[in-house]
Structure 1
């Protein structure tokens, strides 16, 4: 049994509104220099769900399910900082009032929190509906592994990840894919990984094939090799991070499927065990 400080964590309300998609300019330029007119972030995305493939969509940075934010930057900062993957979310206004779902990711740049709801609930919801989240998880620690930092993850989700004690002071974590550090792009260099995400670059098709990234799914756990997310996002030989795929592949240079970090260590103390079922859809029963 992995020991945590769950009893010491506060549960606090954060809230946001379903955010309308935005488009100030119709074209998105691909890494080949081609202009494209495509759907992108925001709104209610009815047919893109956690567990679906994150690759191949006719879109850019597609966010599965519902995307929420606040227009007040300070309130939105708290929403994006405190909401954690696996937190319970509830619609509190409109025809969908009372529907419950789960936070599935935090998307930096656009600063959205992404939420799963059942299909029948999506049909009753609309832009500007308010959604309340029971924020629970920031401050979570593994008592016996002080060098491993946990972030952006509900404690109940942590207990379902099938983490095991390994050898030489390591933990073993099931992950769907491995990602080398040279593929990490947009978002690298950020001052914190306690909100937002950063992207796996997918312009190099040979690398995508080599690491079997063409079958990445929304909600997959992935291990990021030589990636340090403790005090920001950067390269460090021997560091290890684990994250969740939160948005789709992208056409823009330096972008690709977004990864929200859930654990990181400056030392090689996290061992990724390949398991294609390592997806939050299976852990949250969605």
Structure 2
């Protein structure tokens, strides 16, 4: 098993409320200049969940599960940083009080944390219900691999992923590999410890050639030549690992969002294709 500082990682509460969808203008313009009226970010997505395809939805930047945030900018900044994929979430107000779920992603720009709950619990929830998250994961270190940065993932989930150690490198199960030239919106961000960045999908034939059209929410993917250590950018030989967190998009430079969970400036991470490389297959510690 990988040696980590698991016992020293702090677990701390963060909280937000279910955020109403926002739509300042009725139209969203696609890459061909056509205007569309479509569901997008926020609220409760009753029929879109982790494990479903990230493609084909009649929507734009659709967020599976429940989307939460705080209106106070500083509080929401803390929520976006310290909530990690795989963290336990619990409803603390409203008819679904006591229901438990888990964090499935962090969506930058709109600054939402995304949480999956059981269907019967979704039916009881309402806009503005408050949800508490046991923020746990930032500060996780790999003691034998100091050059590899781990971020945005619950240590329990991370240690459940069947990562192999081979000749001083880590081999991670992934659903697909994404080349750097396909990464778009979010490039140049100051940090990868919050939010996501998008796989661009305008060139759908290239997406299909690489098998990326089969990606699902929750899939683990490898980002080739992508350095997410101190922001998001291109670096030959760098490798990052991320999780698919929102749907395909119609806007130029956008597509399924990916939240980073590992990165290294050197080629110390490799991927092996595994059809089970999805977070739903590694979460077994939440009641």
TM-score normalized by structure 1? 0.99
Which residue of 1 is the match for residue 184 of structure 2? 185
Cα distance between partner residues in 2 of 1:6 and 1:283: 17
Cα distance between partner residues in 2 of 1:166 and 1:260: 25
Structure 1 alignment gaps of length 5 or more: none
Instruction: Kindly report the root-mean-square deviation, in angstroms, between the aligned alpha carbons of the 2 structures.
Output: 0.8
Write the mapping of 1:46-65 to structure 2, written as runs, cut at 5 A.
46-65=46-65
Cα distance between partner residues in 2 of 1:25 and 1:70: 22
Structure 1 residues 149-207: Cα deviation after superposition (integer angstroms, max 9, x where no partner): 0000000001111011012x101100000000000000000000000000000000121
Which residue of 2 is the match for residue 100 of structure 1? 100
Which residue of 2 is the match for residue 204 of structure 1? 203
Which residue of 2 is the match for residue 256 of structure 1? 255
Which residue of 1 is the match for residue 130 of structure 2? 130
Which residue of 2 is the match for residue 219 of structure 1? 218
SS in 2 for 1:146: coil
Cα distance between partner residues in 1 of 2:123 and 2:283: 21
Structure 1 residues 5-47: Cα deviation after superposition (integer angstroms, max 9, x where no partner): 0111111000000000000100000011100000000000000
TM-superposed CA distance for 1:276, in Å, is: 1.5
Which residue of 2 is the match for residue 115 of structure 1? 115
SS in 2 for 1:101: strand
TM-score normalized by structure 2? 0.98
Cα distance between partner residues in 1 of 2:204 and 2:16: 37
Which residue of 1 is the match for residue 15 of structure 2? 15
TM-superposed CA distance for 1:281, in Å, is: 1.1
SS in 2 for 1:242: strand
Which residue of 2 is the match for residue 240 of structure 1? 239
* Number of residue equivalences: 285
Which residue of 2 is the match for residue 156 of structure 1? 156
Structure 2 alignment gaps of length 5 or more: none
